[in-house]
Copies of this chain bind each other. A is one copy, B any other.
């Protein structure tokens, strides 16, 4: 799978990387048990530092999305789609509350907001 980074983005590099991997999983480009490149190889491909890749991997590891094994490498967790109920829905609701507040202040109401969400899901199912 193609991963790319925008060094001019305001978003932190390791966050961009983690997002891209989650996105790849959500679209089905990355599947359970699929291997990921080593920290050194991916860093080299992207032209960034090894530790930055390592930081992204460890963030995903904490979320239970990938499995890191010293000497075996990194792979997508076989239970990646399982409902791990780690209180994620509470975090999600708070983030959505912020997005909804901001949307209302920008003239975007419930119908239009739901339309954007459905559109994102549709694109995701069709693989972009």
Instruction: Tell me what chain A mostly uses at the interface: helix, strand, loop, or mixed.
Output: helix
Closest to A20 in B: B101
Q: For the complex of A and B, list the 3 residue pairs with the smallest distance between their C-beta atoms, beginning with the closest.
A: A83-B107, A22-B101, A26-B101
A15-41 contact mask (Cβ, 8 Å, vs B): 1 or 0: 000010011011000000000000000
Seen from chain A, the residues whose Cβ lies within 8 Å of a Cβ on chain B are 19, 22-23, 25-26, 63, 65, 80-84, 86, 88-89, 92-93, 95-108, 110, 113-114, 116-121, 124
Of B26, B80, B117, the residue contacting A114 (CB under 8 A) is: B117
Query: Are A107 and B84 interface neighbours, CB within 8 A?
Result: yes
Residue of B nearest to A15 (CB): B98
